[in-house]
Structure 1
Amino acid sequence: MKLLLTSGGVRNSTIHAALVDLLGRPVADCTALCIPTALYGHPWVGPGVNAWNFITGRSDDMTGLGWKSVGVLELTALPSIPQERWVPLVRETDVLLAAGGDAVYLAYWMRQSGLADLLPSLDGTVYVGMSGGSMVMTPRVGREFVGWTSPDGGGDTALGVVDFSIFPHLDHPELTENTAAAAERWAAGLGGPAYAIDDETAIVVDGGGVDVVSQGTWRRLA
């Protein structure tokens, strides 16, 4: 699986070019499934209008990019239906678009639904995350970003698909606590490599390579 891990979506031409490069063809030729699940677990953003805005492409640069088709993959519903109803759909889809929200909640439902087990076999799929939808791929999100408590007691643990953590929305004007100094304190408590990225930045993971593409500000933190 190829990953495009963003803070604010596909917001500029540099991130868009990285997406097209991962896809290997234009966006208009590709099918997408959007995953709104993380929104429901976040105390500020869901459920409600934000989920609708994400699905319809009204609030971010994810589902509204001009895909050939866009469907909805709601992870909380998947345990109640047979896998043969949804696994072939995921395998046939070119890109998965994961909304922001609570990354721990999203990780829990990725495991509960079976999607987490399926991910390693999706060799030709591109996964695009936004904020919490990106953080879910990391080993830990940090206690500062935990808004939902998992019943399995997982704390701030995410999926660990990549070996680094992500501090999103660096220096965002509406999130005054998301400063470089705060990112350094956050990283110091993780015990592993991390990136702090703003909404004009994305991290590309393709095979064994990790690259940062940006028209904004980012920092790699020890």
Structure 2
Amino acid sequence: MKLLLTSGGVTNASIRDALVELLGKPIAESTALCIPTAQYGHPMVGPGVRAWQFISGNSQNPMVDLGWKSVGVLKLTALPSIDKEQWVPLVREADALLVAGGDVLYLCHWMRESGLADLLPSLNETVWVGLSAGSMVMTPVVGDDFIQWRPPTGDDTTLGVVDFSICPHLAADGMPGNPMAEAEQWAAGIPNAAYAMDDQTAITVVNGEVHFVSEGHWEQLRTLSSGPDQA
């Protein structure tokens, strides 16, 4: 699977260009499935208008509204109640999965419960486009600051597809988002490499190679053995 891990969506030309490169063809020739599940688990997002805005492409986070050839909806909480033959082929055929933000542990729980997490290793050419929690779910841990909901097991690990953690929505002091001081406090409790990034930044991961794409600001708060490239 190819990863485009964003903080705020496809918010600028550099991130859009990175998406097209990962797809290997124009967005207008690519199909996508959007996954709103994380929104339902977050107390400040929840079901209702915010989920509709994401699905319909009317949110402030450009993802669904990029001009895809087609966009479908994959609601993970529904998948355990239907046969895999009904949804697995749809996932395999999609060029991209557009994964909304919200509660990361709720999303992770339903990725595991639905079987989507088990399917990911076989999706070699699919592009995972994460937004906030939709990006963080691919990391090993998210830290207590980002936990609002816990699964019945109490497990607070995430999928660990990548070996670093992300603090999204980095913002200047006094602006909406996470200030650097809070990001540094968060990183102090993270056991692996960690980055903070603003909404004009994304991370691509292909075959283990990590590359930052940014028209904004990001900081490496804990180091990897070999640092990522930057665009």
Q: What is the TM-score normalised by the length of structure 1?
A: 0.97
For the aligned residues, what is the CA RMSD? 0.7
How far apart, CA to CA, are the structure 2 residues paired with 1:56 and 1:148? 26
How far apart, CA to CA, are the structure 1 residues paired with 2:192 and 2:128? 23
Cα shift at 1:116 = 0.1
Question: Is 1:186 matched with 2:189?
Answer: no
How far apart, CA to CA, are the structure 2 residues paired with 1:50 and 1:199? 18
Q: Give the secondary structure class of the aligned counterpart of 2:155.
A: coil
How far apart, CA to CA, are the structure 1 residues paired with 2:155 and 2:171? 29
Cα shift at 1:94 = 0.4
Percent identical across equivalent pairs? 66
Matches within 5 A, 1:96-111: 96-111=97-112
Q: Give the secondary structure class of the aligned counterpart of 2:213.
A: strand
Matches within 5 A, 1:190-201: 190-201=190-201
Cα shift at 1:67 = 0.1
Please name the residue that 2:8 is paired with: 8
Please name the residue that 2:50 is paired with: 50
Q: Give the secondary structure class of the aligned counterpart of 1:148.
A: coil
Show CA shifts across 1:93-144 (max 9, x none). 1000000000110000000000000000000100000000000000001100
How far apart, CA to CA, are the structure 1 residues paired with 2:193 and 2:180? 15
Task: Count the aligned residue pairs.
Answer: 219
Please name the residue that 2:176 is paired with: 174
Please name the residue that 1:210 is paired with: 210
Please name the residue that 1:64 is paired with: 65
How far apart, CA to CA, are the structure 1 residues paired with 2:48 and 2:143? 26
Cα shift at 1:149 = 1.5
Please name the residue that 1:136 is paired with: 137
Q: Give the secondary structure class of the aligned counterpart of 1:43.
A: coil
Moved over 3 A (4+): none
Cα shift at 1:181 = 1.3
How far apart, CA to CA, are the structure 2 residues paired with 1:194 and 1:221? 5
Mind listing any 5+ residue stretches in structure 1 that lack a counterpart? Answer: none
How far apart, CA to CA, are the structure 1 residues paired with 2:221 and 2:4? 19
Q: Give the secondary structure class of the aligned counterpart of 1:158.
A: coil
How far apart, CA to CA, are the structure 1 residues paired with 2:151 and 2:185? 24
